[in-house]
Amino acid sequence: MTLNELGWNSWFDEIYNSTPGKEYLVPARITAEFAGCYGAETEKGSCLLSLSGKIKHRSQSAEGIPVVGDWVLVTGDEKADRLPVHCILKRRTLLSRRAAGRVNTIQPIAANADYVFIVQGLDGNFNLKRLDRYLTAVKTSGVQPVIVLNKADLCPECMEKKKAAETVAGGIPVVILDSVHHKGYEALVSYMQPGRTVAFIGSSGVGKSTIINELGAEKQRTGQVKAKDGKGMHTTTTRRLLRLKNGALLVDTPGMKEFAAWEASAGFRENFADIEALALQCRFSNCRHDTEPECAVKKAVLEGKISVQRLDNYRKLKEEMKSMKKYR
C-alpha cells in the first residue's frame, strides 16, 4: 500500500522533507489505539508502535500524544515487535472535545480528517441542542461537517426532522439514511474518495457501525437500542481507522454522551453566525438578548426567523464558553 493510499499528500511531504534525519525515519499512519501501544500502517504493511520516552516527557497535554489518523515518523528495525515513534507530524486538522466532566482538559478524537459525519438517529436520539454542540465543536476543529440522520425507517416524519436540522445546519449538508432498506447512501459517495479520511461521531446507538458496514468496511459489531430512551450500547469500544474497497478511509469512534468544544470561540461564532450578526444591531453592545429593550435578536424570535430553542441553546453555550475561559 502506498502512502497516498493511506492519506498522505503534499502537506505531509513538505513537513517530512524538512525533518532532520528523515533518511532514517519511516512515515506511518496510526490506525488503532491499544493499551500501551498503537496499530499503524506503513508502505511495508501493518505494525505496532510504542511511544519513545522523549515524546512522553515532552508531552504537556493530550494533544502531544498520537491519536488515530495521525502521521508519525518511526525509527528502528521494521521487523521489530514494536517500532518507536520519533515524532508526530504537524496535523492538518484535529477533531477534539472537552474531556467528559472536566472543564480544562482536552481529549483529541481523530487527526487529519477531511470530513466529519455527525450521526443522529431519527428515533429518540434526535436532538437539535445536541446537534448544535457537535457542530460548534467540529467547526472549531477545521474539519468540514456533514449531518447524517440515520434510521429513517423508524421515523414517518423524517423530512420534517431534516428541515429542523437544516435550521441549525447553516448550509451544511444534511443526509437521511435508511440502513434497513439501504436507502440514501448515494448521497455519501462524493465524500468517499480514495485517500480521503472521514470520521464518524455521535451517541451510542445511532448506527455509526451499521453505516460503516454498509459502506463496505470490515464488518463492525452492532447492537440493539433500548426502545424506552433510544440509547444504545457501546458496540465500538476503541477508535479505529478503516479502509474501504474504493480507497476511502473511515474513523469509527465509540459513542459519546458528551461532546463539547475545547476551544469554541471560532466554531461558536460560525455555528451561530445568524444570531451573532443580528446581535450587532441590538441597542446595547453587551445585550444578553433577554430583557433589554430594542434587541434585534428577540425581535427575530418574535418574527419567527429564529426559534426560541436555538436562542436558548446559544445562551447556554455562550455561558459554557465563559466558564471554560475562567478555568484556564
SS (H, E, C) the chain: CCCHHHCCCHHHHHHHHCCCCHHHCEEEEEEEEECCEEEEEECCEEEEEEECHHHHHHCCCHHHCCCCCCEEEECCCCCCCCEEEEEECCCCCEEEEECCCCCCCEEEEEECCCEEEEEEECCCCCCHHHHHHHHHHHHHHCCEEEEEEECHHHCCCHHHHHHHHHHHHCCCCEEECECCCCECHHHHHHHCCCCCEEEEECCCCCCHHHHHHHCCCCCCCCCCECCCCCCECCCCCCCEEEECCCCCEEEECCCCCCCECCCCHHHHHHHCHHHHHHHCCCCCCCCCCCCCCCCHHHHHHHCCCCCHHHHHHHHHHHHHHHHHHHCC
Assigned superfamily of 94-252? P-loop containing nucleotide triphosphate hydrolases (3.40.50.300)
Bridging pattern class, strands 37-42 and 26-34 = antiparallel
Shortest CA distance to 189 belongs to which of 214, 210, 221, 208? Answer: 214
How do the domains of the chain map onto residue ranges?
4-88, 94-252, 272-326
List the grid coordinates of 86: 520519533
Q: Contact at 8 Å (CB) between 219 and 213? A: yes
Q: Contact at 8 Å (CB) between 42 and 27? A: yes
Residue 80 to residues 16, 37, 75, 76, Cα–Cα distance (Å): 23, 14, 10, 8
Q: How far apart, in whole angstroms, are the C-alpha atoms of residue 58 and residue 38?
A: 19
Per-residue exposure over 17-51, b if at least 16 CB sit within 10 Å of its own CB, e if not: eeeeeeeebbbbbbbbbeeebbbbbbeeeebebbb
Q: Which fold does the domain 4-88 belong to in CATH? A: OB fold (Dihydrolipoamide Acetyltransferase, E2P) (2.40.50)
Cα angle value 31/76/38 (rounded, 5°) = 20
Q: How far apart, in whole angstroms, are the C-alpha atoms of residue 151 and residue 174?
A: 14
List the grid coordinates of 93: 486538522
Q: How far apart, in whole angstroms, are the C-alpha atoms of residue 301 and residue 308?
A: 6
Q: Which CATH class is domain 272-326?
A: mainly alpha
pLDDT in tens, the chain (328 residues): 899 999 999 999 999 999 998 898 999 999 999 888 999 999 999 999 998 777 766 666 677 889 999 999 998 776 778 999 989 999 999 998 776 655 567 788 999 999 999 999 998 889 898 898 888 888 888 899 999 999 999 999 999 999 999 988 889 999 999 988 889 999 999 999 999 999 999 988 898 989 999 998 776 554 454 444 444 444 445 789 999 989 999 999 886 666 665 555 666 777 788 888 888 999 898 898 988 999 999 999 999 888 888 888 888 888 776 665 544 4
* The pLDDT of residue 100: 62
* The pLDDT of residue 77: 73
* The pLDDT of residue 232: 42
* The pLDDT of residue 319: 77
Q: Contact at 8 Å (CB) between 27 and 76? A: no
Q: How far apart, in whole angstroms, are the C-alpha atoms of residue 15 and residue 66?
A: 17
Global pTM value: 0.80
Please report how the helices 308-326 and 128-141 are oriented relative to each other, as an axis angle in degrees rounded to 10: 50
